[in-house]
Amino acid sequence: MIEVKELSKRFEGRVVLDGISAAFGPGEVVALVGPSGGGKSTLLRCLNGLESFDAGTVRVGGDVLEAGGARGEQVWNIRRRVGFVFQQWHLFAHRTALGNVMEAPVYVKGLGRDEARERGRALLAKVGLSHRQDAYPSELSGGEQQRVAIARALAMEPEALLLDEPTSALDPERVGELVDLLSRLRADGLTLVVVTHEMRFARELASRMLVLHGGRIIEEGPPARVLDSPHHERTRAFLGLDRVAGAAASRS
Ligand SMILES: Nc1ncnc2c1ncn2[C@@H]1O[C@H](COP(=O)(O)OP(=O)(O)OP(=O)(O)O)[C@@H](O)[C@H]1O
Ligand SMILES: [Mg+2]
């Protein structure tokens, strides 16, 4: 469970997150959506200590991040519990798919290489990549590299996984596969927080949608409700519903 309370963050004096409170529970997939610059990536990065903040708290189980507080050990605990899958994947170019997945358990957790290899193989099987375990990142497609990045994050046995725009480099078929994979992880009880601009993806995958605008959560609810009948006019504008309604009115 990740719990955020009154989280605020400025960049160069400009408010980017403005008192965000939210909770993300086990087996829940939350889609973070909203206009560009609304603070989605910044919030995601705050959730696992990749970014510091000016006020509020982030709590993951018994580990707490505080604004400007001592950060060392708490940050490491939280990064272990909350995995992050970057948009550009950031795989180690000189390691195979299996090597990438083994790296953190061996070097961070001190797991023996044989055990790490066994677990790495099982994780690659889970993401459908057993047949590519000896390939290097440059030999893998974008979708395959992303799945290695997901397996690598899972290797630390996190409670939650954060993904920033995971569909941006995928064709529609790969997006469908990603929905299947993430749905399986959710069924395992993982908490998933996903920033996305693809509303169909969010609708299929998420149990809850948060709309972030100007550093605030302006709307929240099941994706179908938010997308089909948004309460906030800024959400309507973001989804382009006003334009559609306007066009329909001007046609009639
Ligand atoms: N390192 C930084 N230094 C200064 N300003 C930053 C920094 N990172 C982000 N910002 C600003 O913070 C605001 C929120 O950025 P953020 O990346 O969180 O938005 P976003 O919702 O993820 O947008 P997008 O959909 O375009 O990815 C933006 O105005 C951005 O310019
Ligand atoms: Mg972003």
Please state, in angstroms and rounded to a whole number, the distance separating the CA atoms of residues 227 and 52. Answer: 32
Residue identifier of the C-alpha nearest atom 31 of ligand 1: 37
Q: b/e for 103-125, b at 16 or more Cβ within 10 A? A: bbbbeeeebeeeebbebbbebbe
pLDDT above 90 covers what percent of the chain?
A: 73
Please state, in angstroms and rounded to a whole number, the distance separating the CA atoms of residues 21 and 56. Answer: 9
29-33/208-213 β-pairing: parallel
* Ligand located closest to 20 CA: 1
- The pLDDT score that the predictor gives to residue 169 is 82
Question: What backbone phi and psi angles, to 5 degrees, belong to 76?
Answer: -65, -40
pTM over 0.75: yes
User: Tens digit of pLDDT for each residue in 218-248?
Assistant: 999 999 999 999 999 999 998 887 766 666 6
Ligand 1 proximal residues by C-beta, below 6 Å: 11-12, 16, 36-42
Residue identifier of the C-alpha nearest atom 24 of ligand 1: 36
Residue identifier of the C-alpha nearest atom 6 of ligand 1: 11
- The pLDDT score that the predictor gives to residue 46 is 94
User: Tens digit of pLDDT for each residue in 164-222?
Assistant: 999 988 888 888 999 999 999 999 999 999 999 999 999 999 999 999 999 999 999 99
CA of 190 to the centre of ligand 1 (A): 27
pLDDT above 70 covers what percent of the chain?
A: 95
Task: Delimit the domains of the chain by residue range.
Answer: 2-251
Lowest mean pLDDT among 146-150, 154-158, 195-199, 247-251: 247-251
Q: Is 249's pLDDT higher than 70?
A: no
**CATH for the stretch 2-251:** 3.40.50.300
Q: Is 252's pLDDT higher than 70?
A: no
CA of 119 to the centre of ligand 2 (A): 32
Q: Is 124's pLDDT higher than 80?
A: yes
In the predicted model, what is the mean pLDDT of residues 14-18? 96
Please state, in angstroms and rounded to a whole number, the distance separating the CA atoms of residues 98 and 132. Answer: 9
Residue identifier of the C-alpha nearest atom 1 of ligand 1: 11
CA dihedral 72, 78, 80, 88 (to 10 degrees): -100
